[in-house]
Each structure stands twice: as C-alpha cells, then as structure tokens.
Chain A
Amino acid sequence: MAAAETDTTASGGLAGEMEVEAYRRLFPLAFLERHLRESVRPDARRLAEARPTTVALGAVSSAHGSALIRLGDTAMLASIKLEVMSPPTETPDEGSVAVEFHMPPICSPLVRPGRPAEMAPVLSKALEDVLMSSGMINLKELCLISGKASWLAYLDVYCLNADGSLFDAALISAVAAFTHLEIPLVSVGDDGRVFTVGGNEGKTKYELVNREKRKLTLKDIPFALTCALHKDNVLADPTAEEESIIETFVTVALDSSDRLVSIQKPGGGVTSMATIKTCITLAKERRHKLQEILMDSVEAMEVDQTG
C-alpha cells in the first residue's frame, strides 16, 4: 500500500506518514475532498456517473413475480405475492398494493436483530408513494369480480447488501418485480372462494375469471436517482461511505415520459434551484439508462423461456 502524499491543506502534517487506508478511515472528509478536487470519486467513478446496474427477473420461485437487482454493491430482492381480498365498498372494482421495505440484519453492520432499522419504514413509505402516485399500476387490472374479489399484491423488498442509494435500488427492484409478475389463472368455487386452475387453459372444466388479465400493463414506469451534494459538487448514486460523510441528498423520481414524480431533499445543507435542476438533468439521463437495462432483462427472460 502506498503512503499518502504530503497534504498541506486538509489534516496538516499527520497525513504525510499515513497509509491510504488509515487516512481514509481517520480523515474521511479530507480523503473525499482530495478526490473531488481531481473530479473523481474514491471508487474511480466520475462525479455524475452511476454504478453498473444489473436486473435479474424471477429470482424467487415461490413468488408470483420477483427481481434481484444490483446497483454497484447494493443488492435488492423484490418479490410480489398475490392474495385475494374482498374490495372495500368505495372502490369495488379495484385491487390494492401493500408495500413493505425490509432491512434484515444481514445487510449492514448498523442493523441488529430485534431493533429494526429506522430507515426501513421511511423508505417503505417513500417507495409506496412513488409507485402509487406515478400511476404505473392500474388498480382496476387487479380486480377479479367487481365488488366480490380482487387481488391484494404484497410487494416485499429486501435489502441484501446496503451500500448506498437504497431508495433508487429498491425502486428498480420493485418495478422489475411488477414487470415479471404473472397473475395465476383462477376460478370461483360454489362457496365464493377463489382457487387457482392448473396450466392447460383450453381443457379445464372450470369457468375462468381472468383469462385475459395475466400481465399488468405498466405505463409511466418511475425511476429514481439520488444525488449527494457536497459544496459545489453533485455526486450521482452515492455509496454508503459517501453517504456517511455527506449530509445533503436530493432524490429525483421521473416516469418514462420524463415527468417528475417526486423530488425529495430531506434536510441537510441549503442548496440552490440551479443545483436541483442539475440533479433533474442527471436523473433524466439515468432514467434512459435504467429503462434500457430493464427492457434488456425482460427480453433476456423471454429468450430464456422460449429457448
């Protein structure tokens, strides 16, 4: 390991004799700022560059829809299970979606069993707000028999490795799980309960309720990008290390027609409108990229099934 060069500005003479890894842990802010001066980040990314992202559909066989995504080292597993409910009287022809975000103790040294992470319910709510307000899902498509039965989609997102930008990662995995969701064929028994009907559609003796509605038509899919703001620098898709040093974050969610779904800046330092605009521009670029990645994974899945 190479010794750090003598630093005259940040932490005085101490840095001269120190190994890089020790410097990184003892003076995290100075370490980050020295990188930013060269317009580069500790993991060798450019400031506006997001980490490589992969989407794998169908990771959980016990679910109706699922997706495992990686955003750099951050890993998220989203799964959807469908249950039948009787719809509330106000909306007799709509189904419902229940969103839950989990941070199990395996994902980060900061989470201990029995003490749920404070962040989890916050992200849960943010995720639900963005998913439902984007109008991606037409709840009417989750209806089985108006006023009698409709689907309740349980969306559970598990963080398997927490390395920053958890919201962005959770949103991609949730959206990907919905694109993978396949609704089972069902029929209704004499007792009014819904049951699933096995594979061969043509031959079954039961009357099917939902022959056409096997896939949801997703419109206006939302994608998000979190940016960390440090002085004049805008760092896209921060890692856990960067998140622990920097205080100000802006999360922008856009849908597939580039309309704003949400902007969140939870506290932190003050910032200008110009900086927010920069974040929106970055989020637009990221939206294009993510949409491509998602479409590619859907195609890869279809090739897998036919081949």
Chain B
Amino acid sequence: MRSFYGTNLPNPLMLGTAQYPSPAILEDAFRRSGAGVATVSLRREGAGGAGQAFWQMIRDLGVLVLPNTAGCHTVKEAVTTAQMAREVFGTPWIKLELIGHTDSLQPDVFQLVEAAKILTDEGFQVFPYTTEDLIVGERLLAAGCEVLMPWGAPIGSGRGLANEYALRAMRAEFPDTPLVVDAGVGLPSHAARAMELGYDAVLLNTAVARAGDPAQMAVAMMRAIEAGQMAHEADPIEPRDMAAPSTPVIGKAFLS
C-alpha cells in the first residue's frame, strides 16, 4: 500500500465535512462508515464561535484531517490560506485547490504548480486537486508533491469518472505515486471503479452529504471502495469478446 507522505491511511475513504443536514448526521456518517480522513476548511469566525464546536467534533472523531484551500483563485490567496490552515489544524497536509473556472470549478493548473512549489518549499505536504493531465502531474511531482488528486468529474456533479481512459493512463504513468480520485463521484459504483483502476483512495463529499440518508450512503461508499480495492489486488480477468464456458465440457453425459 502506498503511503501518503509517510502515513498509511486507515482506509481509502476521504470524506468531506460540508453540506450535511446537521452536525449530528455528519458525525453519524463518519462513525458508521469509519472514514479515516476528513477534509475541512477555514472560514471567517463569527462572534458565536461556531468554528470551535465543529473543531471539537472533528477531534473527537479521531480522524486524520486534511484542510483545503477551497475557493481560492490566486496563488497568493491559496498560499496564505494554507499557512493559516497549518496553524489552526496543526498539520502540514494541505489539499491545494486553485480554482480556474467558475462553472466547472476546474483547477487552474498553472497556478496550482506555482503554489505547490511555494508550499512544498515551506514544508507543506501538498495534496493537489488537479486534472488528469499527465504533464501537469509530472510538474506537480517536480514541484515536490508526493500525491496527486485528479478529478473524476466537476465538484458536486456526481457524474462519476468522466475520463476513465485518462485516469487509467495516469495510474500507469505514476506507478509509485499515491493517486486519489477527488471530486465528481456520485455513486458507490463510481468509487469502486476508481479503486478497480488501482487508485489509492477516493475523496468525496456531496454524494454522501446530499443523499437522503448520508450515513447509509457513507457506509455504501466505504464498502464499494473496499470492494474495488480488493478486486484490484485480486488481479481481475481481462474482458473478452467471445464466451468461454466456465463448466468443464469433458465428462459431460451423451444424452441427445
């Protein structure tokens, strides 16, 4: 199993913490699914101190914490957010998001590489939210990233793996790098597919948080992810065009 900057994940489900109907349901989704990593963010603190209660809940869950730079559109903004996140959450991990396009939330990969270099030089362990572009992947690794997180489809779209061919190519191109499908997963089958391709983890949020029963969907995602991972490790057969009888023909009775 590939490690993430020296840390072995307890399991391959990275689960977001946004958009749940209530904090209790969020907590239930984590406890029932056993998701090992929680993504979190930073926002302006109000007078009521809402952020403190949330942070206490995450701490009580005992999960690994992956802060993000969601919503950042410039290198400066993303770097400053990462610096603030490191202090608040006490981890060098940062999910680096640099949004380049409003409708698709597609990463701005040029700024992404630039920010990744700055943050790596400052001692961060960067988890870049990127596209499935191989050259961008190479540049991110050259910038010091040791993990790549290509999108499956646009954030929140639930479309699954829009470009499975490219994701497979990415797995082949970077055999030693931990790869995570981040964003676009809508169904457990999508998540299972990512793992069957040999990905190391799946990061998802909306598919669980917006489901009618988030906790049950979180469990379904976990089972699918584990099934996909087991299948990949079990070395599946190749598909073929013609039938191949599974029951032996030799010894069949002559009855016609």
Real complex partners, A and B? no
